[in-house]
């Protein structure tokens, strides 16, 4: 599953980028195409900086309010990935980067990621710990304690060097 995705990412994406750049170059000329790529990178860097600053402010506000900054952390990751795509030369990666950086579309991606991670069991709902210790659909939280035990060496085991 991962190998075809990596092949598509590292082989297919550059081929697609070159194709799109050539098509744009044929349509508007080489110098306007290069200029458009430079402007795209500058706009991507500016968007990453401005949206990154807003996400950072929301992150610190969440910490000051004493709530977990889960949404803000995910937004920050999406802005970083979107910014990296926006800085990469090419129109397709710039479009994907803009999609991840823009707040309305970033919210759509964030909701989809959270839903997918929750379906796979990679995320837990953090509110159960504050709501009386009951977890949604799974009963009470397990007790928080250590188990005391002892260990003995087996005389049949060969001695180990330290």
Instruction: Identify the pLDDT of residue 16.
Output: 94
Query: Which residues constitute the domain of residue 47?
Result: 15-124
- 24 occurs within a structural domain: yes
> What is the C-alpha to C-alpha distance for residues 112 and 134, in angstroms, rounded to an integer?
26
Q: Identify whether the C-beta of residue 24 lies closer than 8 Å to the C-beta of residue 104.
A: no
Domain count, the chain: 1
- 130 occurs within a structural domain: no
How confident is the prediction along the chain (162 residues), in pLDDT tens digits per residue? 788 888 888 889 999 999 999 999 999 999 999 999 999 888 888 888 999 899 999 999 999 988 888 889 999 999 999 988 888 889 999 999 999 998 899 999 999 988 888 887 765 555 444 444 444 555 555 556 666 667 777 777 776 666
pTM of the model: 0.68
- 48 occurs within a structural domain: yes
Q: Identify whether the C-beta of residue 148 lies closer than 8 Å to the C-beta of residue 155.
A: no
DSSP 8-state secondary structure symbol assigned to residue 90: S
- 76 occurs within a structural domain: yes
- Nearest Cα to Cα of residue 41 among 72, 99, 86, 78: 86
- 65 occurs within a structural domain: yes
> What is the C-alpha to C-alpha distance for residues 49 and 83, in angstroms, rounded to an integer?
8
- 7 occurs within a structural domain: no
81 CB-contact burial (10 Å; exposed 0-12 / middle 13-18 / buried 19+): middle
- 20 occurs within a structural domain: yes
């Amino acid at each position: 599953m991962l190998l075809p995705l990596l092949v598509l990412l590292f082989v297919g994406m550059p081929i697609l980028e070159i194709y799109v750049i050539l098509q744009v170059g044929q349509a508007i000329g080489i110098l306007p195409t290069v200029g458009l790529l430079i402007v795209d990178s500058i706009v991507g860097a500016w968007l990453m900086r401005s949206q990154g600053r807003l996400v950072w402010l929301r992150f610190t506000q969440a910490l000051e309010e004493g709530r977990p900054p889960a949404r803000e952390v995910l937004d920050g990751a999406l802005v970083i990935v979107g910014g990296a795509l926006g800085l990469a030369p090419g129109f397709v990666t710039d479009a994907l980067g803009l999609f991840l950086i823009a707040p309305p579309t970033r919210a759509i991606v964030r909701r989809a990621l959270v839903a997918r991670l929750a379906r796979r069991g990679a995320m837990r709902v953090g509110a159960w710990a504050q709501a009386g210790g009951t977890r949604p659909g799974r009963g009470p939280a397990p007790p928080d304690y250590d188990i005391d035990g002892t260990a003995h060496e087996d005389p049949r085991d060969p001695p180990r060097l330290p």
